[in-house]
Amino acid sequence: PILSINEVGVPVEAARELTVPVHVQSYNQEIVKEWVKRGPTPLGLLGEYAPGVNYVIRPDGRRIRVTEKNAEVVAEAVEIGYTVERQLVDGDIVLFNRQPSLHRMSMMAHEVRVMPHKTFRFNLAVCPPYNADFDGDEMNLHVLQSEEARAEARVLMRVQEHILSPRFGGPVIGGIHDHITGSFLLTRKESKFTREEVTYILSKIDIKELPPADVTKGGTEYWSGKALFSAILPKDLSMTFKSSIAPKGDIGLKELKEEDSLVVIKNGVVSSGTIDENAVGAFKGKILDKLARDYGPDAARGFIDKATKMAIGAIMIRGFTTGIDDEDIPEEAKKQIADVLRTAIEKVEGLVESYKRGELEQMPGRSLEETLEVEAMKILGRARDQAGQIAGKHLGIENSAVAMARSGARGSMLNLSQMAGSIGQQAVRGERLSRGYWNRTLPHFKKGDLGAEAKGFVKSSYKSGLHPTEYFFHAMGGREGLVDTAVRTSRSGYMQRRLINALEDLKVKEDGTVRNTADTIIQFKFGEDGVDPSRSVQGRAVDIDDILQEVLGEEPSWKERLREQEMASYGLTEKDMYVEISEEEVEVEEEEPPSEE
């Protein structure tokens, strides 16, 4: 986090090996001679890294290796017209890349920072575009050799120029994991900090003057987290949006205010709302999006650097951990879950009975067997969701696992409900498990059993552990996921290659048409609307609301601002697929008398 998003930490050994050619001219001849004199492994006055020279190239193309022994002699021979290969120094522009290079953000230009130890290092906020993590990923670093290449990379390929993705116009560089949790802890509800803590947080981002204290209680001054976060926002920023912790669906102002999930920023001051994934997260961050679009890449870079450092400072003060006991739920909740699952399983048995008696109502376009399967899947899916909601009701937002899921840092309520409630129906190709032995899935069941357990419904939760049969079914469902992933990557890779080869000669001409190399018009207007996605606002060319707000200086009504602007994003995530059941439905099913076991 000490490196800016534009930088990359290069180990000393790599920096000594990689070189940049410097042409000797009248103005730099003396300096270059000094470099060559130092030999291939010089150190600074304090024993720190200093760049040396590996080779000197004569005008006739001969390469002379510089060693400790011959450095003096070679340095004397350096004339105008020679080329000297000097080692990397801080500030050199290099290209950094991680395979597979799937989009243009997989290869970006960073500035070198030579550092001790043996790994490449870069800012956490740049992990999403590279899709990198720190469990042993390897990356490539290319040192640019010509002045033109360096200028071009600095202008076109710097990390900060790629904060907005050309795929959907949102930010691909931004806070992840701890940054989001940290911002959440910093700005949640009435979060207060003492003078000592505030000094610690602000020291991370080089702010010397403390803002005025918000509250004074019994002689002690307290600062609110929202005021601290406001310190890094531009003074003329005004916007309104919903936090990630806001309940899904259409809700009134009262509920938003209760949860503190309506973010209102007026003239660079956060007056209400919690800062989380929807504000600073990669792919979702609204503040990031607006800064990059209206204030330019430099402001956005500064904001990302500061916001992430501040979040880390806050999370270090508050302390944050999660463990297996975060999934503990009270006995009463366990009883409720057991009841819900029991009634669901009995319902499925009822379905099977009516199927065997031939009383099942056929769904249009489906056979009786398919109708049974669909209905059973429906009932069991709902049972799992209800178990999850009962578990979720007993784990409040104080719970660190829930805090992570709700703020958007990591995990989803689905993961939590499977850990605490019930894992649910295992499926292969979208159907309940059926194959195995003759007429049954495992020898532990009667032949022709169509009940919930026999067809792969897992009652247990990850916390309580699975029964042997459940474990086997779970492994069947999990195996499909692995096979599917392997097949999908190869398919999509080949597909992408064919597309690239088919489209490689298309380009947009000055008149806005798309043509190929033969100057045949492919499209009269780029993308049919002439809008560059990376400069668009959620797919539209102009954000009228925003312009009106800036010109007239008046806030539109809160409802207007929150019109769920459909963010063209990375398709559906697990979070979106998690079906929320209305509270009423849960209540009704709890009131049914528990059947005698």
Mean pLDDT of 61-86: 88
Model pLDDT for residues 181-221, shown as the tens digit of each residue: 999 999 888 888 888 899 888 888 888 888 888 888 877 88
Architecture of domain 178-318: Orthogonal Bundle (1.10)
What is the mean predicted confidence (pLDDT) over 103-118? 93
Q: What number is the average pLDDT over the span 171-178? A: 90
Two tokens at 233? 């926002």
The residue among 177, 173, 179 whose CA lies nearest residue 106 is 173
Contact 239, 286 (CB under 8 A): yes
Q: How far apart are CA 279 and CA 272, in angstroms?
A: 13
The string of pLDDT tens digits covering residues 2-35 is 899 999 999 999 999 999 999 998 898 889 888 8
> Strand runs (DSSP E) across 405-538, as ranges?
424-425, 427-428, 431-432, 457-458, 507-508, 514-515, 521-523
pLDDT score at 215: 82
Statement: residue 442 has pLDDT above 90: no
Round to whole Å and give the CA distance between 12 and 515. 48
Peptide bond preceding 100: is omega within 30 degrees of 0, i.e. cis? yes
Kindly state the helix (H) or strand (E) to which residue 416 belongs, with its residue range. helix 413-420
Is the per-residue pLDDT at 36 higher than 60?
yes
Least confident of 75-79, 544-548, 563-567: 563-567
Structure tokens at 59: 């005008």
Q: What is the mean pLDDT of residues 457-484?
A: 90
Residues of the chain with CATH 2.40.40.20: 7-160
pLDDT, position 158 = 93
The predicted structure's pLDDT at residue 566: 46
pLDDT for residue 13: 92
pTM of the predicted model as reported, rounded to 2 decimal places: 0.84
Residue 335 is predicted with a pLDDT of 92
> What mean pLDDT value characterizes the chain?
85
pLDDT of residue 550 exceeding 80, the answer is no
Reported as a pLDDT band with limits 50, 70 and 90, residue 559 is: low
What torsion, rounded to 10 degrees, do the Cα atoms 242, 248, 249, 251 define? -60
Torsion of CA 81, 86, 88, 93, to 10 degrees: 10
Percent of the chain with pLDDT over 70: 92
pLDDT (0 to 100) of residue 498: 95
Residues 400-417 have pLDDT tens digits of: 888 898 888 888 888 888
pLDDT digits (tens, 9 = 90+) for 120-132: 999 999 999 999 9
Measured in residues, the chain has a length of 597
Task: Give the pLDDT band of residue 145 (cuts 50, 70, 90).
Answer: very high
- Closest C-alpha to 278, from 597, 565, 45: 565
Question: According to DSSP H, which parts of 157-193 are helical?
Answer: 178-187
**Does the pLDDT of residue 89 top 60, yes or no?**
yes
> Please, which pLDDT band fits residue 587 given cuts at 50, 70 and 90?
very low
* Phi-psi domain of 429 (left: phi exceeds 0; alpha: psi -120 through 50; beta: other): left
For the domain 7-160, what is the CATH code? Answer: 2.40.40.20
* CA gap 265, 183 in Å, rounded: 15
Q: What is the pLDDT of residue 209?
A: 81
Distance of alpha carbon 220 from alpha carbon 501, whole angstroms: 67
Q: What distance lies between CA 211 and its chain's CA centroid?
A: 31
- % of the chain exceeding 90 in pLDDT: 32
Do residues 575 and 412 make contact, with C-beta atoms less than 8 angstroms apart?
yes
Does residue 432 surpass a pLDDT of 80? yes
Which residues, 6+ apart, have CB-to-CB distance to 304 below 8 Å? 5, 125, 163, 173, 174, 175, 288
Q: Give the model's pLDDT for residue 109.
A: 95
Residue 539's pLDDT is what?
A: 65
User: What confidence tens digit (pLDDT) does each residue in 301-343 have?
Assistant: 999 999 999 999 999 998 999 888 888 888 998 899 999 999 9
In this structure, of 100-109, 182-191, 223-232, 567-576, the range with the lowest mean pLDDT score is 567-576
Domain with CATH 1.10.132.30 in the chain: 325-477
Report the distance separating Cα 409 and Cα 149, nearest Å.
38
Q: Please answer whether residues 408 and 323 qualify as being in contact, where contact means their C-beta atoms are separated by less than 8 angstroms.
A: no
Q: What is the pLDDT of residue 312?
A: 92
Q: Where are the beta strands (DSSP E) in 75-208?
A: 83-87, 93-97, 107-115, 121-122, 140-143, 192-193
Where in the chain is CATH 1.10.274.100?
A: 178-318
Q: How confident is the model at residue 363 (pLDDT cuts 50, 70, 90)?
A: confident
Among 166-180, 212-226, 375-389, 493-507, whose mean pLDDT is lowest? Answer: 212-226
**What's the confidence (pLDDT) of residue 558?**
53
Per-residue pLDDT band for 522 (boundaries 50, 70, 90) equals very high
pLDDT at 153: 94
- Which class is domain 325-477? mainly alpha
Q: From the CB of residue 597, how many other CB atoms can be counted at a distance below 10 Å?
A: 5
